[in-house]
Structure 1
Amino acid sequence: MFRTEPGRRRKGTALALLAAATLVVSLTGCAADRITPGEARGRAGADGKNGAAARGAVDCAKAKCIALTFDAGPGEDTPRLLDILKEKQVHATFFLLGEKHVVRHPEVVKRISGEGHEVANHTWTHRILTDIDADEVRDELSRTQDAIARITGKKPTLMRPPQGRTDDTVTEVSRELGLSQVLWSITAKDYSTEDTALIRQRVLDQAHGDGIILLHDIYGGTVPAVPGIIDELKRRGYTFVTVPELIAPGKPEPGAIYRPEKDD
């Protein structure tokens, strides 16, 4: 579904139609099932806050935090992205696809984990989870869990459903597998353009505290936009964190849906 081979991995018509729906979020659960980063921190209580302070973690209740996330890799541009993140001293969250990505680039997956980034699950084949039954949802998620664990020694605790589509069945299976669901509040729609300047500007225009940025490290215009995004948001006073750091001292709850609210 996502081409990453040499010759450039450009989307076909079918992929473009699928990706164009990434802003369509189907949430059939109760609104209370959706947790903002601030709510997650608040649920942790005073003991959790003291523990976070003792570990020297960023306190996103005080700092202006933002989480940079990448979907559907790793791909041929991911090593360059990792070089940029290392140079900028930024940690990100990578929602990885199993088939044709994790299994083809185990050394990159190992590097992502080894350099302190959060490794997360984006399913095995990018099937829309709300269109399939519970056993198929379980297969999509568990196969990627196992593939990542074989490489890194650890199963992810976070997943992102393709196109952000989730429902009660997806939530229940995610809970069973120990996975929290992570959505987003900032998107560059980088599946629709290779214009690096436009990708950069779209992210900067939407940036807000406690935000989660959605990008894809498999499209040609995205990785070149990352240095400018990081530099400008740092200039604006943002601190880059992984998704678990964004909600710390809270811990991701299996099955829960984490989705930031945009500033008005």
Structure 2
Amino acid sequence: MPLSTDKFPTPKPATGKTREPRRGLRPAVLASAAVCLALTLSGCAQVDTTSPSTVRAEAAHGAPAKLGTVDCRQAKCIALTFDAGPSEHSARLLDILKEKKVPATFFLLGKRHIEKHPELVKRMAAEGHEVASHTWDHKILTRISDAEIREELKRPNDAIERLIGHKPTLMRPPQGRTDSDVHEIAKELGLAEVLWSVTAKDYTTTDSALITKRVLANASRDGIILLHDIYDGTVPAVPGIIDALKERGYVFVTVPQLLAPGRAEPGKVYRP
């Protein structure tokens, strides 16, 4: 079976399956927890999000965090992120990133991906990339029970920890669909949610030139670029994307570097 993609289909009518209720939620909270019906290129339009610049500004009033080699308060930063791997294309992608000296953030799937390519997960971490979660089986979190949400988030956490020695701190909900129940469970598991500002819709084409064009047309400072290293046209587009953005003065960073000196807070949602 092909992997479901991060397309944004119109949600189907309810089928009678109900979400396991969370104790103590007020009607207003329940209303805000409904599945997002208005979705945009930058993710779920109805979710309260925090921008990287806000995180950095708020951190200026507290204890400084490790900045690494880039200070995005000064540099023109952008984050390259990849969903739904590892895949047979990931080794080539890692070669490109190493050659270009570009760090990335990988939101990995568990079933058929982490479990199939554990050596690539280890390599991502060893080469300085951020390893994060894209759930275990790409289930739409707003359509399943709380117990299922917890399972979808916990299993990749545990699998990643076994491979690289620590649990991820970031996750990306499939299709960008999230709600208050997802936020609460993510917080419980120590995960912040990361959406995006740029997508090439690489699940719709194998045309690498078109993928490159779509990314470059929407790139901006503090941007978070969403790509998928599972599709045939994506990895061949990456060198051109990197070179063109570097020519425009962008510095590539991981999502944690984009937020530094602040840090992502479990249970919150981040998007430029």
The normalised TM-score by structure 1 is: 0.87
CA deviation string 1:204-247 (max 9, x = no partner): 00010000000000000000000000000000000000000000
What does residue range 162-241 of structure 1 map to in structure 2 within 5 Å? 162-241=174-253
Structure 1 regions of 5+ residues with no counterpart? 4-14
TM-score normalised by L of structure 2 = 0.85
SS of 1:109's equivalent in the other structure is helix
CA–CA distance in structure 1, aligned partners of residues 95 and 183 of structure 2: 35
Quote the RMSD (CA, aligned, Å). Answer: 1.7
User: Aligned pair in 2 of structure 1 residues 258, 2: CA closer, same or farther (>3 Å)?
Assistant: farther
Aligned residue in 1 for 2:145: 133
> 1:44 and 2:59 equivalent?
yes
2: CA distance, partners of 1:94 / 1:77: 13
Contact 1:41–1:61 (8 Å) recurs in 2: yes
Matches of 2:243 and 2:123, distance apart in 1: 23
Choose between structure 1 and 2: higher helix proportion: 1
Contact 2:133 2:157 in 1 (8 A): yes
How many positions carry a matched residue from both structures? 242
**Structure 1: which amino acid aligns with 2:52?**
P
Q: Shift of the alpha carbon at 1:192?
A: 0.2
Q: Are 2:97 and 1:85 aligned?
A: yes
Change in 2 beyond 3 A, CA 1:230/1:86: same
Residue 26 and residue 238 in structure 1: after superposition, are their counterparts in 2 closer, same or farther (change >3 A)?
Answer: closer
Render the CA deviation track for 1:94-118: whole Å, top value 9, x for unaligned.
0000000000000000001110000
Alignment of 1:1-264 (within 5 A): 2=2, 15=4, 19-21=7-9, 23=40, 25-26=43-44, 31=48, 34-49=49-64, 51-52=65-66, 56-260=68-272
Residue ranges of structure 2 left out of the alignment (5+ in a row)? 10-38
